[in-house]
Homo-oligomer: A and B are copies of this chain.
Amino acid sequence: MLKTERQAYILRQVDLHNRVLSSDLSAAIQVSEDTIRRDLNELADMDKIIKVHGGALSKSFHSSFLKADVYQAESKKLIAQKAVSLIRKDMFMLSTGGTTVIEMARLLPEDLTATFFTGSVPAAYEYAQHPNIQVIFLGDKISKSSLIAVGGEAISKINGIKADLFFLGINAMDISGVSDNDWEVVQVKRAMIQSSQQTVVLTISEKLNTNQRLTICDLSEIDILITELDPQDPMLKPYRDAGITVL
């Protein structure tokens, strides 16, 4: 069997079965596991598969179904970097969805090990792409508008958690607090605030000094605020004055 043929066979098996073990391939094609491993590495270099310990995963299944959100992409990267700096090894994290949070999920360093609890479908997807992050999905009814799990089940699950840090993506925030327009989402976010040591708001500055109908919490419940602006920016002064650490 030619090397190229062998690699084509491997690729087919991976795509077909989603996941293959080196040992199975080795037995099936009758070559050493060494050779299989070299093939997998080459296919991975060509971006055709995802190599994992002991075998490989299909790429077609894992390549992002979420198109990268280009709106204010640079700002979001800045925010992401600041947020990442707060995470320590093996922390328990809570997280909502939202484009800013998802952008951050993509920038988590490869070697970071941590556990993320989330009820957001896209956020769970992004976290799950990372090799060393464990993702726990807090299931329940999925809200169509925000793609986040809402309802009593989700909330009671959240109540059972004690997280170190909570990354909160928001819709609106002003000096009277954080607000939203979806009652079910508000409930979930409130529960998440209660269940974590520290709450970190991630937002582009555009959302500051706006508000919506329903209040999630007032500023005293926010510990850290991260925007793309310089922490000393005058726009952020009201929040610093309210006792929030602004990064």
Contacts and interface: CB of A to CB of B under 8 A. Distances in A.
Interface of A: 2-5, 7-8, 11-12, 15-21, 50, 52-55, 57, 60-62, 64-65, 68-69, 98-99, 119, 121-122, 124-125, 127-128, 131, 134-142, 144-147, 149, 154, 157, 171-172, 181-182, 206-207, 210, 212
Given A125-B122, A136-B140, A69 B15 contact: yes
Given A18-B145, A142-B124, A57 B137 contact: no
Contacts of A124: 121, 142
Contact of A68 (B4, B12, B62): B12
Which 10 A-B residue pairs are closest in the complex by CB-CB distance?
Answer: A139-B139, A137-B139, A135-B142, A4-B52, A8-B65, A17-B171, A19-B145, A121-B125, A128-B142, A138-B139
Interface SS of chain A: helix, strand, loop or mixed? mixed
A121 B147 CA distance: 11
| Protomer copies | 2
A98 B172 CA distance: 36
A167 B239 CA distance: 50
Contact of A125 (B7, B55, B65, B141): B65
B147 A61 contact: yes
Contacts of A61: 8, 99, 122, 147
Could you say which of A3, A61, A119, A146 has the most chain B C-beta atoms within 10 Å of its C-beta? A61
A108 to B, nearest CB: 14
A154 to B, nearest CB: 8
Contacts of A146: 18-19
Contacts of A11: 65, 68
A68 B145 contact: no
Given A16-B206, A53-B3, A141 B135 contact: yes
Given A4-B52, A16-B207, A65-B125, 6 more contacts: A2-B57, A19-B181, A19-B182, A21-B181, A65-B122, A119-B139
Contacts of A149: 137, 139
A18 to B, nearest CB: 6
10 contacts: A18-B146, A19-B181, A57-B145, A61-B147, A125-B125, A127-B142, A131-B144, A137-B139, A137-B141, A137-B142
